[in-house]
Amino acid sequence: MYSSSPIHLEGGPGGLLVTAPERWSPTADPDLGIYRVADGADGNLLEFLGERRFTEDGTDRGMDFRDADFSADGSVLAVADGVRGTVLLGGQDARFLENPYAPLPEGVAPTAVAFSPDGKWFAQGGAASGDAADLTLAFADPSVERQPLRISFEDEAAGHRVVPRGMEFSGDGQQLFVVTSNQEGTRFWLHTIQTREALAPSRFVDVTHGPAVAGGPFRVTGRLDLDGLAPTEAPRITVQRLNGLEVADLPSVPVAEDGTFVLEDVLPDRVGDVHYVLGYAGDEVHYRSEHWLVVDTVKASNTVTRGGR
């Protein structure tokens, strides 16, 4: 393979490889190629899968490459194009695909794209002016109807834009690493963004309890609020009881369709503080939450029988 222009390479799952030449002039129309790395048994190290020019008839500007990344399963190749924004291509044949993702704000120059290796997240980076978002973080599955997390880098101590090819996810998809620069491109910063920040919040509300008599039955009621989409599986609440140095894991508590739950327990047979830790582990679209309940138990009153004369 030979080219008179600099070529950017990006690897993908299953030995996928994309080659993207830089534009040598504003009217140039470089072609992007997708290959699979072979074992070389037939004398060829690369198996050609497809190519794509962004304009076929020369009436429009060609690809102005900034970055590219394959989805976790290799079915989609996202390309950050300086003219068109984010362009999606078939990861195996380079055909144009419909783009279901919310774009960067109007006027923001695209600079970077990244899919997380766990298949959950898709990020788009750019160079914005003012308080427009330089970064959007969304679910890779476009059927999850949730607005993306939007971040603006407008700080002399944190950078003003995402640099080209300046984003990468951690292997487990829990962090997004972003390199930003100042407007002149002479100073650079590395940011670590926790992807859980893009999850919908969950919270415990209206948690109340009945009488707290040492050694007696005890009842707690409350509601688990989940923003956005309903979870795919019915949530359950984990419960821990802390009685001095003693820690007991109680059976989990189901959550009703309206979010309400009821915890029933028997209090330890001593007077004093008992702590309950209610937890929700989160799900595919909701972040975890926790609630501490401090209960002051009282001694049971003695029943005195009065005899007649």
SS3 at position 257: coil
Q: How far apart are CA 120 and CA 140, in angstroms?
A: 5
Residue range 218-259, pLDDT digits in tens: 999 999 998 877 777 889 999 999 998 899 999 999 999 899
* CB neighbour list of residue 257: distance below 8 Å, 6 or more residues apart: none
What pLDDT does 41 receive? Answer: 77
What pLDDT does 110 receive? Answer: 94
Q: How far apart are CA 270 and CA 62, in angstroms?
A: 77
SS3 at position 117: coil
* CB neighbour list of residue 8: distance below 8 Å, 6 or more residues apart: 19, 20, 21, 22, 65, 67, 68, 165
Please answer whether residues 94 and 51 qualify as being in contact, where contact means their C-beta atoms are separated by less than 8 angstroms.
yes
* CB neighbour list of residue 301: distance below 8 Å, 6 or more residues apart: none
Q: How far apart are CA 99 and CA 97, in angstroms?
A: 6
What pLDDT does 176 receive? Answer: 96
Q: How far apart are CA 205 and CA 172, in angstroms?
A: 31
Residues in the chain: 309
Structure tokens at 212: 């707290």
What pLDDT does 305 receive? Answer: 47
What pLDDT does 33 receive? Answer: 94
What pLDDT does 302 receive? Answer: 63
pLDDT digits (tens), the chain, 309 positions: 677 788 999 999 999 999 999 888 877 888 899 999 988 777 788 899 999 988 865 556 788 999 999 999 999 999 999 888 999 999 999 999 999 999 888 888 999 999 999 999 999 999 987 778 899 999 999 888 778 889 888 877 788 899 999 999 999 999 999 999 988 888 999 999 999 888 888 999 999 999 999 999 999 999 999 887 777 788 999 999 999 889 999 999 999 989 999 999 999 998 999 999 999 998 878 888 999 999 999 988 765 445 544
Q: 212-233 as b/e, with b when 16 or more CB fall inside 10 Å?
A: bebeeebebebebebeeeebee
